[in-house]
A = this chain, B = another copy of it.
Amino acid sequence: MDKNDLIPIGVLARRTGLAVSAIRFYEDRGLLCAMRTMGNQRRFLRSDIRRLSFVLIAQRLGLGLTEIEEALATLPMGRTPTLTDWQKLSRSMRSQLDAKIQLLTRTRAKLDECIGCGCLSLQRCQLYNRDDRAGAAGPGPRYVLD
Protein backbone atom coordinates (compact mmCIF):
# COMPACT_ATOMS: atom_id res chain seq x y z
CA MET A 1 0.00 0.00 0.00
CA ASP A 2 1.69 3.13 -1.31
CA LYS A 3 2.25 5.92 1.17
CA ASN A 4 0.75 8.32 -1.39
CA ASP A 5 -2.51 6.53 -1.02
CA LEU A 6 -2.86 7.75 2.54
CA ILE A 7 -4.23 11.24 2.94
CA PRO A 8 -4.74 13.41 6.03
CA ILE A 9 -8.16 14.68 7.04
CA GLY A 10 -7.69 18.19 5.68
CA VAL A 11 -7.07 16.92 2.18
CA LEU A 12 -10.09 14.67 2.37
CA ALA A 13 -12.10 17.66 3.53
CA ARG A 14 -10.96 19.81 0.62
CA ARG A 15 -11.59 17.05 -1.88
CA THR A 16 -15.10 16.30 -0.69
CA GLY A 17 -16.17 19.78 0.32
CA LEU A 18 -16.98 18.51 3.81
CA ALA A 19 -15.90 20.20 7.02
CA VAL A 20 -13.14 18.46 8.94
CA SER A 21 -15.49 18.23 11.89
CA ALA A 22 -18.08 16.47 9.73
CA ILE A 23 -15.56 13.87 8.61
CA ARG A 24 -14.53 13.17 12.19
CA PHE A 25 -18.19 12.88 13.03
CA TYR A 26 -18.73 10.39 10.22
CA GLU A 27 -15.79 8.36 11.42
CA ASP A 28 -17.30 8.24 14.91
CA ARG A 29 -20.55 7.09 13.34
CA GLY A 30 -18.65 4.32 11.59
CA LEU A 31 -19.29 5.50 8.02
CA LEU A 32 -15.59 5.58 7.50
CA CYS A 33 -12.52 4.18 9.12
CA ALA A 34 -9.08 5.72 9.34
CA MET A 35 -5.59 4.49 10.14
CA ARG A 36 -3.43 6.50 12.50
CA THR A 37 0.12 7.82 12.28
CA MET A 38 2.52 7.30 15.16
CA GLY A 39 1.46 10.76 16.31
CA ASN A 40 -2.22 9.76 16.34
CA GLN A 41 -3.26 11.66 13.26
CA ARG A 42 -5.82 10.13 10.95
CA ARG A 43 -4.81 8.86 7.54
CA PHE A 44 -7.46 7.93 5.01
CA LEU A 45 -7.44 5.91 1.85
CA ARG A 46 -7.78 7.86 -1.35
CA SER A 47 -10.84 5.77 -2.07
CA ASP A 48 -12.51 7.37 0.92
CA ILE A 49 -13.05 10.41 -1.25
CA ARG A 50 -15.47 8.31 -3.23
CA ARG A 51 -16.94 6.81 -0.11
CA LEU A 52 -17.77 10.30 1.12
CA SER A 53 -19.04 11.37 -2.28
CA PHE A 54 -21.47 8.52 -2.04
CA VAL A 55 -22.56 9.73 1.37
CA LEU A 56 -23.21 13.21 0.00
CA ILE A 57 -25.20 11.91 -2.93
CA ALA A 58 -27.23 9.56 -0.79
CA GLN A 59 -27.96 12.36 1.66
CA ARG A 60 -29.13 14.51 -1.17
CA LEU A 61 -31.53 11.74 -2.04
CA GLY A 62 -32.95 12.06 1.42
CA LEU A 63 -31.36 9.07 3.13
CA GLY A 64 -30.42 9.36 6.79
CA LEU A 65 -26.94 8.52 7.99
CA THR A 66 -28.20 5.25 9.42
CA GLU A 67 -29.54 4.10 6.07
CA ILE A 68 -26.36 5.21 4.38
CA GLU A 69 -24.38 3.30 6.97
CA GLU A 70 -26.29 0.16 6.08
CA ALA A 71 -25.73 0.69 2.39
CA LEU A 72 -22.02 1.25 2.90
CA ALA A 73 -21.80 -1.86 5.03
CA THR A 74 -21.92 -3.82 1.77
CA LEU A 75 -18.62 -2.21 0.78
CA PRO A 76 -15.29 -3.36 2.18
CA MET A 77 -13.85 -1.09 4.87
CA GLY A 78 -10.16 -0.21 4.85
CA ARG A 79 -9.71 -1.51 1.31
CA THR A 80 -10.38 0.16 -2.01
CA PRO A 81 -13.74 -1.13 -3.31
CA THR A 82 -13.92 -2.70 -6.73
CA LEU A 83 -15.99 -1.55 -9.65
CA THR A 84 -18.52 -4.25 -8.96
CA ASP A 85 -18.83 -3.16 -5.34
CA TRP A 86 -19.76 0.35 -6.41
CA GLN A 87 -22.06 -0.74 -9.17
CA LYS A 88 -24.11 -2.88 -6.84
CA LEU A 89 -24.48 0.06 -4.48
CA SER A 90 -25.37 2.54 -7.20
CA ARG A 91 -28.03 0.25 -8.53
CA SER A 92 -29.65 -0.15 -5.15
CA MET A 93 -29.61 3.59 -4.78
CA ARG A 94 -31.25 3.92 -8.14
CA SER A 95 -34.21 1.92 -6.98
CA GLN A 96 -34.62 4.03 -3.88
CA LEU A 97 -34.63 7.05 -6.16
CA ASP A 98 -37.27 5.44 -8.34
CA ALA A 99 -39.49 4.86 -5.35
CA LYS A 100 -39.08 8.43 -4.19
CA ILE A 101 -39.95 9.85 -7.56
CA GLN A 102 -42.98 7.62 -7.80
CA LEU A 103 -44.26 8.75 -4.41
CA LEU A 104 -43.95 12.40 -5.36
CA THR A 105 -45.56 11.83 -8.71
CA ARG A 106 -48.51 10.10 -7.09
CA THR A 107 -48.84 12.89 -4.58
CA ARG A 108 -48.84 15.41 -7.38
CA ALA A 109 -51.60 13.57 -9.19
CA LYS A 110 -53.74 13.49 -6.05
CA LEU A 111 -53.07 17.13 -5.44
CA ASP A 112 -54.16 17.95 -8.97
CA GLU A 113 -57.55 16.41 -8.35
CA CYS A 114 -57.77 18.49 -5.20
CA ILE A 115 -56.91 21.76 -6.83
CA GLY A 116 -59.84 21.32 -9.14
CA CYS A 117 -62.36 21.19 -6.34
CA GLY A 118 -60.60 22.80 -3.39
CA CYS A 119 -61.14 19.62 -1.42
CA LEU A 120 -58.69 20.60 1.22
CA SER A 121 -61.30 23.06 2.32
CA LEU A 122 -64.82 22.14 1.30
CA GLN A 123 -67.38 19.79 2.79
CA ARG A 124 -69.02 19.01 -0.50
CA CYS A 125 -65.90 17.69 -2.19
CA GLN A 126 -65.90 13.99 -2.97
CA LEU A 127 -62.29 13.52 -2.02
CA TYR A 128 -62.67 15.46 1.15
CA ASN A 129 -65.74 13.56 2.17
CA ARG A 130 -64.03 10.30 1.58
CA ASP A 131 -61.22 11.44 3.86
CA ASP A 132 -63.76 12.76 6.31
CA ARG A 133 -65.72 9.54 6.51
CA ALA A 134 -62.41 7.85 7.15
CA GLY A 135 -62.13 10.18 10.12
CA ALA A 136 -64.44 7.88 12.03
CA ALA A 137 -62.18 4.90 11.35
CA GLY A 138 -58.75 6.56 11.25
CA PRO A 139 -57.60 10.15 11.24
CA GLY A 140 -55.65 12.38 8.90
CA PRO A 141 -55.40 13.62 5.35
CA ARG A 142 -54.84 10.01 4.34
CA TYR A 143 -56.50 10.26 1.01
CA VAL A 144 -53.97 12.65 -0.35
CA LEU A 145 -51.05 11.23 1.57
CA ASP A 146 -51.39 7.51 0.99
Q: Type the 1/0 row for A50-90, where 1 means its CB is closer than 8 Å to any CB of B.
A: 10011011001110000000000000000011111111011
| Copies, count | 2
Whether the pair A50, B120 counts as a contact (CB closer than 8 A) is yes
Query: Which residue of chain B lies nearest to A100 when distances are taken between CB atoms in the complex?
Result: B104
Whether the pair B104, A101 counts as a contact (CB closer than 8 A) is yes
Chain B residues with Cβ below 8 Å from A128 are 50
Chain B residues with Cβ below 8 Å from A89 are 120
A122 within 8 A of B: yes
Chosen A-B contacts, 29 in total, with CB atoms closer than 8 Å, are A15-B139, A17-B138, A17-B139, A17-B140, A50-B120, A50-B128, A53-B144, A56-B145, A60-B145, A61-B107, A80-B121, A81-B121, A83-B118, A83-B121, A86-B118, A86-B122, A87-B115, A87-B118, A89-B120, A90-B115, A90-B120, A91-B115, A94-B111, A97-B104, A97-B108, A98-B108, A101-B101, A101-B105, A101-B108
7 nearest A-B residue pairs (beta carbon): A53-B141, A17-B140, A83-B118, A17-B139, A86-B121, A90-B115, A86-B118
